[in-house]
Structure 1
C-alpha cells in the first residue's frame, strides 16, 4: 500500500482502533505529537496501540468523515471529523472532535504524526 492508502485505511476501515493493523503500519520508533484540548500529548507506538484498545472499549462504533487528504513524498495530511457511538447508546453518533493530522513515513511505515484537535 502507498502511504496515502495506509493513512486512509486508518480512518475509513476503523484501522485507528485495530491494534493488529497499527502494529503492522507503525514504525518501531513511532512518535505522535498531539495538541489537544488538554495540551501536548506525546505517544509512542505502544501507548498509541493502548489508546486504540481504549477507543475500542469505550465506543461501540467509531467512524470518520474525511474532509480532505493530501499526499506528497513521504507525508500525508488529513482533515477529518471523528464520530463515536457509546456502548450504552450504539445507534446515536456524536461528534467527538475535529482533527488535522500529518503522517510521516519512513521505510514504508508511519514514523511520526503531528495532530491538532478541537473537541465538540
Structure 2
C-alpha cells in the first residue's frame, strides 16, 4: 500500500536528521531538487547538496528540533510550515532558534522530489508569537 504524501513529509520532519545519515537516502528521491529562497538569495540544491547540508547539521549540532505548525496536502503536493531549533555540540543543554520555513514538496516514488522553500532567520521576539500553538495537520 502506498503512503500518503503527507505521511512521507511528516515522517521526514519527525526523523532524527541530526544523528542519522541514512535519512537522506530514505526520504529524498535521487533526482531531488530543492529551490530555496533564503537570506543568501535563491539557491538550487540537488540530492548531493541536500545531503551536504544535513551533513553540516550533523557536524555542528547535537540535536535538531523541528516545530511544525502546518502540514497540508493537495494530491502529491504537501506544504509544511515549521521552525528549526538546534542544540550546539559545544553546549547541548542550550536550545537556539535558527529559522522559520515554509516548504512545498512534490512527492514522487514515495520520496521528496521537488521542494520550493522560503526561510527567514529566527528572532528573539518570535518566541512571543503564538502562531505555532495550533497545528493544522
TM-score of the superposition, structure 2-length normalised? 0.81
In 2, distance between residues paired with 1:47 and 1:21? 14
May I ask how many residue pairs the two structures share in their alignment?
Answer: 120
In 2, distance between residues paired with 1:47 and 1:37? 17
**Residue aligning to 2:104:** 102
**Residue aligning to 1:70:** 72
CA RMSD after TM alignment: 1.4
Instruction: Give unpaired runs (5+ residues) of structure 1.
Output: none
Equivalent runs, 1:36-47 vs 2, <5 Å: 36-47=38-49
**Residue aligning to 1:88:** 90
Shift of 1:73: 0.4
Instruction: Give unpaired runs (5+ residues) of structure 2.
Output: 123-137
Shift of 1:24: 2.2
1:27 to 18, 26, 29: 29
User: Given that residues 32 and 113 in structure 2 are in contact (C-alpha distance below 8 angstroms), is that contact kept between their aligned partners in structure 1?
Assistant: yes
**Residue aligning to 1:114:** 116
User: Given that residues 9 and 15 in structure 1 are in contact (C-alpha distance below 8 angstroms), is that contact kept between their aligned partners in structure 2?
Assistant: no
**Residue aligning to 1:13:** 15
Structure having the higher Rg = 2
Greater percentage in strand: 1
**3-state SS of 1:96 partner:** strand
TM-score of the superposition, structure 1-length normalised? 0.92
Deviations 1:42-80 (A, max 9, x none): 110111011111101111111011011001101010000
